[in-house]
């Protein structure tokens, strides 16, 4: 599927909707993609909720039928083990690649920028847990959100703290061939 035709069709449908033209919507009306995207786009759950059934495996199937051969789930770790297995089985059945999920994220306390050992130990526990999720999902990319900055510390110290923790995380990920994807520290 070419981006240009995808966006053109989306624009036409949007204009028709605004103009009050009644077009049949849903999985049946959209049909299957004539050709898949050349590049792998990885949607997240909920993006196709209006055209696919609500269950995750149906959204994956609808996406696959429409040219999306990659998938991601930001909050995958919050889903039950049963749900993760259903998602993984559906992806593998369709030959769809799993993109990334979040391994650790906390905006309530200073995680990477600070020096509180109990908080840093919790980050490392979350990272170890995310390795098991990655194995289950056949995933290669895990996103780690560095979280809040610490206004009490100079920026250079915060970067040094974050770098030291990232090195420890790399030691956990490297033996499994995982790629760490990062978001920067939030200055708020």
The pLDDT of residue 3 = 57
The pLDDT of residue 183 = 81
SS3 118: helix
Q: What is the DSSP string of 123-162?
A: HHHHHHHHHHHHHHHT--EEEEE--B--TTS-HHHHHHHH
Burial of 30 (0-12, 13-18, 19+ CB in 10 A): middle
Computed on alpha carbons and rounded to an integer, the radius of gyration of the chain in Å comes to 20
pTM given for the model: 0.75
Q: What is the spatial distance between Cα 69 and Cα 33, in angstroms, rounded to a whole number?
A: 12
Per-residue pLDDT of the chain (188 residues; tens, 9 = 90+): 555 555 445 544 554 444 444 444 444 445 555 677 777 888 899 888 888 888 899 999 999 998 899 999 999 999 999 999 999 999 999 999 999 999 999 989 999 999 999 999 999 999 999 999 999 999 999 999 998 999 999 999 999 999 999 999 999 999 999 999 988 766 65
Q: What tokens does 68 get? A: 């999306």
Q: What is the spatial distance between Cα 139 and Cα 178, in angstroms, rounded to a whole number?
A: 8
SS3 114: coil
The pLDDT of residue 128 = 97
The pLDDT of residue 113 = 94
The pLDDT of residue 26 = 47
- CATH 3.80.10.10 applies to domain 39-183: no
Domain residue limits, the chain: 39-183
CB-based contacts of 108, cutoff 8 Å, min separation 6: none
The pLDDT of residue 8 = 47
The pLDDT of residue 139 = 95
Q: What is the DSSP letter of 180?
A: E
The pLDDT of residue 29 = 47
């Amino acid at each position: 599927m070419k981006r240009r035709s995808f966006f053109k069709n989306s624009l036409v449908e949007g204009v028709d909707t605004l103009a009050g033209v009644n077009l049949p919507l849903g999985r049946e009306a959209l049909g299957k993609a004539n050709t898949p995207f050349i590049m792998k786009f990885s949607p997240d759950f909920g993006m196709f909720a209006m055209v696919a059934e609500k269950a995750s495996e149906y959204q994956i199937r609808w996406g696959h039928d429409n040219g999306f051969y990659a998938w991601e789930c930001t909050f995958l770790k919050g889903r039950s083990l049963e749900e993760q297995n259903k998602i993984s089985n559906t992806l593998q059945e369709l030959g769809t690649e799993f993109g990334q999920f979040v391994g650790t994220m906390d905006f309530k306390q200073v995680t990477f920028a600070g020096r509180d050992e109990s908080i840093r130990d919790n980050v490392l526990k979350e990272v170890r847990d995310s390795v098991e999720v990655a194995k289950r999902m056949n995933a290669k990319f895990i996103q780690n959100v560095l979280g809040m900055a610490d206004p009490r510390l100079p920026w250079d110290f915060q970067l040094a703290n974050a770098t030291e923790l990232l090195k420890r995380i790399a030691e956990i990920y490297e033996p499994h061939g995982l790629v760490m994807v990062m978001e920067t520290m939030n200055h708020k």
